[in-house]
Structure 1
């Protein structure tokens, strides 16, 4: 796995939880993003986990392997599927959760992978993490979540959050839903991510512009699509 980019693409269309409908494009999105990064195998090591292979064990084992790699490394994780904001039982804060086909026993929370679990494992100071999440970030209305809780979390959970060691590129801010568009044949974020990488604003692999310029272009395209389709 000693390449300039270590890439993990995760896509889950169906989670065996009644309140979550089956998605059409999540697994296709993961495969398409993996195919892009796989074009330059000398620069990127790509792992694809979809459907029943996208288990907690497989994801966290991959993350642990990355953490043990010495030297500078860019770790890229792409997730397409269901996401939500769930209240942590211990500290009562909202946690961004990704819904996977867990290999744990079924039960409350068994299909939820908290992004904090991944971030806590990827703690090598020489590594940069870029986390792309094409998933919702809303909460279950049955949960008791106050407006104050939402605002406390919003600062660190905007659509694009740039931090010193990692950047999160998300299809949704707190209490927003992500979109799949049949006309695009992809999730909206995934589609414009692929389009932006293919054009003159490429950042990954064939770098032409700065990372934050790339984010600005991508964010504008996603927001424009939301505006046009929501009005």
Structure 2
């Protein structure tokens, strides 16, 4: 079974947090692919958009509800398309990094956002304890605090049309996950390095990272039913670097053993 929690946030309750353009369409595209390309009964996909994607709902969905339904050897995919933000702690040489839910308060990021150091490891521990064999966290967000992408500076910190054809009715029948060895371990795949911006492309209707991630996941691979996570990363990294003149480079952090994701081929044209 593949369990997925997909989060996409364009609009924020606090007007001090700038809106995004393509995060919701990124989340919709990925959730749509998983729901239509994997056989019914073999996936459990939850999509949280804008007002649904509050800190409480995200924490409850991932920390409470998901561990209750995960069974031994299941795979979990967590995906976020949203703002990230850094914030300086009391120590002047250390920054906290946050994912920004819909209801984050700009002046109270510590209390109202998702702490990458505190909350995310807890998710991974709870899911592993529930029996998940493989957990992959994908972040189309960044934490540089620079202008122009999926990030903003926290208050304490100093100084082409949308993808065609991915839900085409003529696409192949949904695939079965039965018998697939997806490996084991935990991985975090981020859209950019720590000092870079994760960029959106209104012309594509998507974040640049997610656009190329979807293309890589849906690329035909001579009948292969899975793609190794290292291969997927290399393809996405090369494509994103090329599309941004090397201003954005995805990062993969792993503790894995032969980890793979299902191929969802035939879904997106080149």
SS in 2 for 1:212: helix
Q: Number of residue pairs matched?
A: 205
Distance 1:11 1:209, change over 3 A: closer
| Equivalent pair of 1:82/1:136 in contact (CA under 8 Å) | yes
* Contact 1:85/1:175 (<8 A) preserved: no
Instruction: Give the Cα–Cα distance (whole angstroms) in 1 for the partners of residues 229 and 120 of structure 2.
Output: 22
Which whole-Å CA distance do the structure 2 matches of 1:119 and 1:179 have between them?
A: 26
In structure 2, C-alpha distance between the alignment counterparts of 1:90 and 1:6, rounded to whole Å: 38
List alignment gaps of at least 5 residues for structure 1. Answer: 146-163
Aligned alpha-carbon RMSD (Å): 2.8
The one of 200, 205, 211 aligned to 2:220 = 200
1:217 corresponds in structure 2 to 235
* Equivalent residue, structure 2, for 1:134: 140
After superposition, the Cα gap between the structure-2 partners of 1:90 and 1:66, relative to the gap in structure 1 and judged at 3 Å, is: farther
- Per the normalisation by structure 2, the TM-score is 0.67
Contact 1:200–1:208 at 8 Å: present in 2 too?
Answer: no
Structure 1 pair 16–195 and aligned structure 2 pair: CA distance change class (3 A):
same
Distance 1:185-1:106 versus aligned 2 partners, 3 A rule? closer
Greater relative contact order, per chain length (Cα 8 Å cut-off, separation 6+): 2
Matches within 5 A, 1:164-175: 165-175=185-195
Contact 2:86-2:144 at 8 Å conserved across structures: yes
Q: Flag the structure with larger Rg.
A: 2
Flag the 1:198–1:86 CA change in 2: closer, same or farther, 3 A: same
What SS does the corresponding residue of 1:137 show, helix, strand or coil?
coil
Q: How far apart are residue 193 of structure 1 and its match?
A: 0.9
Structure-2 separation of matches of 1:224 and 1:105: 35
Secondary structure at the aligned position of 1:24 is classed as coil
* Corresponding position of 2:97: 96
Structure 1 contact 67–122 (Cα < 8 Å) conserved: no
1:14–1:51: 8 Å Cα contact kept in structure 2?
yes
Q: Decide whether aligned partners of structure 1 residues 229 and 76 sit closer, same or farther in structure 2, where only a CA change above 3 A counts.
A: same
Q: How does 1:24-173 map to 2 (within 5 A)?
A: 24-39=21-36, 40=38, 41-64=40-63, 65-68=65-68, 69-88=70-89, 93-102=94-103, 107-109=107-109, 110-116=111-117, 117-123=119-125, 124=128, 126-127=131-132, 128-139=134-145, 140=153, 143-144=157-158, 165-173=185-193
Shift of 1:93: 3.8
Structure 2 unaligned blocks of 5 or more: 146-152, 160-183, 249-270
For 1:90 and 1:67, the matched residues in 2 are separated by 35
TM-score, scaled relative to structure 1: 0.77
**Structure 1 residue 136: deviation in Å?**
2.1
